[in-house]
Structure formats: structure tokens, C-alpha cells
Amino acid sequence: MRVVTALRAATCLVVGDGIVALYLGGLVGGPGAVLTGAAVAGSWWAPRLRERLGARRGVGLGVAVVAGAGLAVDLVYVAESALDGFIHLLLFLLLYRLYTHRAARDTRDAVFLAFFMLVAASSVTFGVGFLFVFVAFLVLGTAVLLLQHVVAEAELVSPPTAGGGGTVLGLERDLLRMSLAAAAATLVITSGLFFVIPRLGLAVAPLGARLVRMVSGFSDRVELGAFGEIEADPTVVMRVHVTSGGLPPEHLANLRWRGIALDRFDGRTWTSARLERGAPRRGVGGHFDLEGPRGGGPIVSQEIYLEPIGTEVVFGAPRVLAARLRTDTIVVDPEGSLSVPRVMGRFQYGIQSQLEPTDPFATPGDILKSGLVAAARARYLQLPPLPGRIAALAREVAAGSRTAEEAALRLTAFLRSEYRYTLVLGRQTTLDPLEEFLFVRRSGNCEYFAAALAVMLRTLGIPARVVNGFQRGEWNPYGAYFMVRLRDAHSWVEAHFDGRGWVTLDPSPRAAAEAAAAPGPLGLYLDALRMRWYQYVINWSLQDQVMVALTVQRQATTWKLSLASLHLWESLPPAAMAALALLVVAIVILLSRRAAPARTGRSGARLPRFYRRALRTLARRGLRPAPGETAREFAERAGAALPAAAAPLVRLTTAYERTRFGAAALTTPELEEVEACLLTLGRTTRSRLAARLIVGGGRG
């Protein structure tokens, strides 16, 4: 393949890689990426197009002026953000350069513009696919720069003519190997710099860019009365790595991710009053300490990677004891819900929680534990005017209960067994949504079950609230974390009992109704790869760098102490130590002897065969090239030592230089001449050696 053709192909591939980066970042849609790619492919025939236009150079200038005016209008009035406008400008400049380039140096502009595409996409792309795009850019970009340098040097020697003349260069394997080696070295160096350079914090995309697409599903309210079919979205919105000192995380019971508690009901919608919101201070260890442990529940630590879901709520397993976040402020409401203002993009944080016991009613309550104050109890018993038969149904189900705990368990079991879980919601009457659910439709999603239980508990004088969050999700054994999907959004109830505090109740028969297919091993492995990409690349911070440095220091100290405590050498007999030392010396000598011929073979493999024969012939006379000595210098020195061999050696050296450095193949007459010179050189050295032996024998 010609170098010029390879340069054009590599340039188009580099530009295509930049377009893929923009597509992954959502900065260019699918149709836009396809059209831009087609325009890039069409630039292959740009020279022919310029030949047909001939002297009409004003056409290109006119296109540039019109496009520039349109891009200015787009940047100021049409584009959704400044970044979108600059992306459109970047694409136009790229296409303009591809269609107007005339010299090899112009391809550098295309590479730089493609690099700016990756820079723009890096601020909004968090998927592991960007890694492959970046590696491809390193390989292709390095190849383009090397090829461009070769072509540019050739153009200086023989500039291309209008008819396409000039030096014709072939694409050699050494150039390909050099480009791959340079790309690999660049990747290694940039990877090292990435992990070494200190972090200043999470950078925010400039110019008003859309960081990510906000997905819906979790809500900070429960609104009854909607109808239609709820779509079970499998999008992963949260990945949770759990550490506990007891059971393995996948075997923890009643594990869920609490979001926000709702305490106000107006007959159709549950909302949060968000009263008396506090902002705790960061502790000495960098954590926000919220409350101390109590009871016998296990304490678990969670490292949570939260996708943007359009809320400021911070999720965690209830009950949260402490939080570790990369922010200066955290807000806590009286319901124990956590939130962080101005959350942008993906969010990583740590939570320490104390889970409820598997059966919170198995042990007697603590009579010394204080109950709710009057204002809080009134807030958690608030109800709007309701149909009387809702309270009557609650009393009927709880009839005969000796305690409030027993009444709550009866109501929970009643809803679980007598009602059906469904995602298809339809209005059948003009009744209020809750009344229609309990007495007519008798089916609904988790929000209806939670709202019904909370209302029925309040009619019995039991303080209750609705909680929105997520179920535990699916366990990923390859990454040892829970994959929480959008379809795992869930609502349940927390009821307060004097002597026990808040207890979780889940009346929804959702687990029995849902039979979602578990992802295959490949899907789990790919998600684990994304998790590692987020952890070690996207969310790599200064704290992570410090922890790695401390770990390395600790391991080095441990190894040093371990080596210092070894007494093996003292226990070995002197003979064994001497034998071991001799073995090490023998291995070193053997490796050094094997390495020397290997180096000679590699360097000699580049020499023409006839020149290697000439060197071996002269070596028998003790004549060898000195380090740093050129072929011509060696020929002059050898000719002075062997005057009869000077002429054939000069011809052999000239043929060697043409073959080695001129990339010229010898013709048949030249090969015959070289063979004759080798024979002459051999006869000369043999005659000189025989004469020397005769003279030496006479002296003896």
C-alpha cells in the first residue's frame, strides 16, 4: 500500500473515531453521526472534486461564508447550550479541512480537531466504551502523525505535481511497528500520569452542557389515581458494594435502599413536609455522624455509585448511622431522609447503617425507650376526610389484636394475601383512588399497597409514614455488588411503636408477582467491567491516590519486616550456601552468553547475505568492524591490511550501501559481480593465510 493512501485512510479513521466519541456522549444523535460519517467518507474523492471545479475557487469561499453565518446564528439562538454550538462549529471546520487539504501537513489539523472531539465528549461520557475510543485514537493518531511526517519529507524532496507525480512511497512493516510501539508507549505514559497527577475534584462540563440524560422512576411523592401500564425499565441506576462483618451481603435479609419518607396525605398524594431540616457537621474522620447504633441489628457499610435519577435524595440501607460524601453539606430531615443539594452527574458516596433485626417483634419492647412527642405523633396520624368504610375495614381486620404490633402485622398480612400486585392500572369507578383500590379493583402497584397500609394504621392510632426507595436489586458475583435497576423502585411503610421505635412493614406481594429474568453471565460481567471503570477511572480521586500510596507503604513495610525476620540463611550449612552461590553465578554466565549471540543475530539479520559472507571471510584474518566504525572506514582499514583485497572489498561495500540504505535490489549482472568479488576476496585471504603458515613453519 502507498504511504499517501495509508495516510488518507488513517485520517478518515481518526475522524470517525472522534464522531463515535461525540455519539457516545450524546452530543451528536444517531442520524447526525451517520450523515457526518458519510461526509467524511466522501472526502476521499475531494481531489477529484477540486479538479472538476478547476479555477472556481470562489465556490469554497462562498460555502465557508454562508456556513459561518449559519453557525453563528446556531451558536447564539438555536443550540441548546454553548457546547452544542461549538460542536457544530467543530464538525464544520473538520469537514472543511478534509475537503480543502492539499498537502500532507494539513492532515495534522484533522487529527487536532478529532482530539477536541474526544475532549468535548470526555466531559459527558462515563461509559467504558470511551476507553476503546481513546485507545483507538492513540493508535490511529500516532500512525497519522508518523505517516504525515514521512509524506511531508518526501514532498520536500520531490513535490507532487498537478498530474499526481512525485515520489511514490511504499508502506513498510517497520513503519507500522513503530506507530504501534509509539501508541503503546503513549498509552502507558498517559495511564501513569492519570493515576499520579493529583485530583482537584469532580470537574463540571463547561458551557452549559447537558451532563447526562435524567431518567425517571424514583419520585419524592406518591400520587394515586394514575392509570395505564407502568413500564418495567431495566436500566441500572445504582450499584452498591456492601461490607458486613456477619453474613455474606447476598444473604442479608430485609435489605433495601431507603430514600425519602412521606408524612402528609391529602386523600390522593403522599408528600413530605420536610420540617426542621438540619445540616450536621463533618466529623474528625471526614464522616457525617448522624446517630449512634442501638438494638441488635447488624452494622453494614455500603459504597454506592448512584446514576443521575433527577433527585437530591441520598439512598442507603436503613437506619443510617454515618455518611461519607464528597460534599461540604448534607441535609437531614426529621424522618431520617438524607439529601445533597446540587447533585450533578454520577455520585459516589459511602453509608454506614444498622439494619433491623430479621423479626423486629421477636423480642419484648423496651419500656424505657421514649415515644414520639405530641407534635410528631399528630403529624404521623394526620388524615384528610376519608370514606368511613376504610376505617371500618381496618378495625375489622385488626379485631382481636392485643397490641398495636399485632394489629399492624394483621393488616400487612391481609393486604399481602387478599390483594393482587399489578403494573396495569385502570380506573373503573369515580371513587377516590384509595377507596377504589380497597373495595373495587383490589389490585395495584406497591404505591397503592403502601398508601393503604399507612392510612389504615393511622385510622387505628398507629403513627405511620410511606417510604420511597429501591429494593435490594440483583447480586453480581463478578463484581461483588448489588445492581439496582429502575424497575426496583419500591414503596413501603414505617410504623412507630412505643418501646420499639420505627419498624418497617412491606404489604406489597411484589416479590411473588414479579418473575423478571435474571441477566446472563455475560451481562453480569460487562456490568462489573463498567463498575470498575467508574471506580478506577471516572471516580478516581485524590483520596483514592492517598489510599493507594498508604497501601503500598504498608505493604513495603510488611515485606521488609518479613525479610528481616527470616532466619533461613543462618540455618543453612556452609556447603549448601556455597553450592547455591555457584548455581547463581552459573545461571548469570549462561544467560549472558545466550544474550550476546541473540543481539548479534538480530543486528546481523539486517545485513545483506553477501556482506555477511565478506565479514566472515575477513574475520578469519582477524579483521572485524570496530564499534562505531562505518562500512567505508572498515573497507579502507581492511584494504590497507590486505592490498590485494582492497578492490573487491570496495565493490562489495558499495553494493552493501545501495542495498541497505538505498532500498535498491541488485540486478542479475550486479549479483554476478558481487559473487566474483567474494571469490576473489576468499582466494586472497586464503593465499595470505597459507603464506603466513609457510613462513611461520620455516622459522620453527
Look at 2 and 318; give whichever has higher pLDDT: 318
Contact criterion met (CB below 8 Å) for 219 and 271? no
How far is Cα 260 from Cα 278, in angstroms, rounded to an integer?
Answer: 15
Kind plus residue range of the DSSP H or E element containing 267: none
The arithmetic mean of pLDDT across residues 59-71, rounded, is 67
Q: Which pLDDT band holds residue 64 (cuts at 50, 70, 90)?
A: low
Contact criterion met (CB below 8 Å) for 456 and 390? yes
pLDDT of 470 reads 93
Contact criterion met (CB below 8 Å) for 183 and 280? no
Look at 174 and 409; give whichever has higher pLDDT: 409
Q: Is 359 helix (H, G, I), strand (E, B) or coil?
A: coil
Contact criterion met (CB below 8 Å) for 296 and 357? yes
Reported as a single tens digit per residue, the pLDDT across 475-492 is 988 888 999 988 888 999
Look at 457 and 604; give whichever has higher pLDDT: 457
The arithmetic mean of pLDDT across residues 195-215, rounded, is 48
pLDDT at 212 over 50: no
Q: Which pLDDT band holds residue 52 (cuts at 50, 70, 90)?
A: low
Reported as a single tens digit per residue, the pLDDT across 201-210 is 444 444 444 4
pLDDT of 210 reads 45
pLDDT at 332 over 50: yes
Q: Which pLDDT band holds residue 409 (cuts at 50, 70, 90)?
A: very high
pLDDT of 699 reads 38
Q: Which pLDDT band holds residue 613 (cuts at 50, 70, 90)?
A: confident
pLDDT of 56 reads 54
DSSP designation for 486 = G
User: Concatenated DSSP letters for 402-471?
Assistant: SSHHHHHHHHHHHHHHHSEE-SEE---SSS-HHHHIIIII-EE-HHHHHHHHHHHHHHTT--EEEEEEEE
pLDDT at 125 over 80: no
Reported as a single tens digit per residue, the pLDDT across 521-579 is 877 877 777 777 766 676 666 656 666 677 777 777 766 666 555 555 556 677 777 77
pLDDT of 439 reads 93
Q: Which pLDDT band holds residue 382 (cuts at 50, 70, 90)?
A: very high
Burial class from Cβ neighbours inside 10 Å (0-12, 13-18, 19+) for residue 626 reads exposed
How do the domains of the chain map onto residue ranges? 3-196, 222-359+371-518, 607-699
CA end-to-end distance (rounded Å), the chain: 66
Give the mean pLDDT of the chain. 77
pLDDT of 340 reads 85
The arithmetic mean of pLDDT across residues 443-447, rounded, is 90
pLDDT of 61 reads 63
pLDDT at 36 over 50: yes
pLDDT of 698 reads 41
C-alpha cell, 271: 408528600
DSSP designation for 281 = P
Q: Of the given ranges (101-115, 255-269, 358-372, 383-397), which has the lowest mean pLDDT?
A: 358-372
Contact criterion met (CB below 8 Å) for 341 and 331? yes
pLDDT of 184 reads 78
Q: Which pLDDT band holds residue 694 (cuts at 50, 70, 90)?
A: very low
Look at 18 and 163; give whichever has higher pLDDT: 18
pLDDT of 204 reads 42
pLDDT at 40 over 70: yes
Q: Which pLDDT band holds residue 154 (cuts at 50, 70, 90)?
A: low
Q: pTM for the whole thing? A: 0.58
Taking only Cα atoms into account, the Rg of the chain, rounded to an integer number of angstroms, comes to: 39
Going by C-alpha positions, the residue among 306, 316, 259, 215 that lies closest to residue 492 is: 259
Reported as a single tens digit per residue, the pLDDT across 169-190 is 555 566 667 777 777 787 777 7
C-alpha cell, 205: 462540563
pLDDT at 303 over 70: yes
Look at 578 and 438; give whichever has higher pLDDT: 438
pLDDT of 606 reads 66
DSSP-H helix ranges across 519-567: 521-533, 542-564
pLDDT of 500 reads 85
The highest-confidence range among 304-318, 480-494, 663-677, by mean pLDDT, is: 480-494
The arithmetic mean of pLDDT across residues 68-75, rounded, is 70
Share of the chain above pLDDT 70, in %: 72
pLDDT of 589 reads 79
Helices 646-661 & 609-619, crossing angle to 10 degrees? 140
Q: Match 445492581 to its residue by C-alpha cell.
A: 483
Look at 226 and 230; give whichever has higher pLDDT: 226
Paired strand residues for 352: 301, 322
pLDDT of 150 reads 76
pLDDT of 543 reads 59
pLDDT at 697 over 70: no
The highest-confidence range among 65-69, 340-344, 433-437, 647-651, by mean pLDDT, is: 433-437
Share of the chain above pLDDT 90, in %: 17
Give the HSE-up count for residue 180: Cα atoms under 13 Å, Cβ half-sphere: 5
pLDDT of 544 reads 63
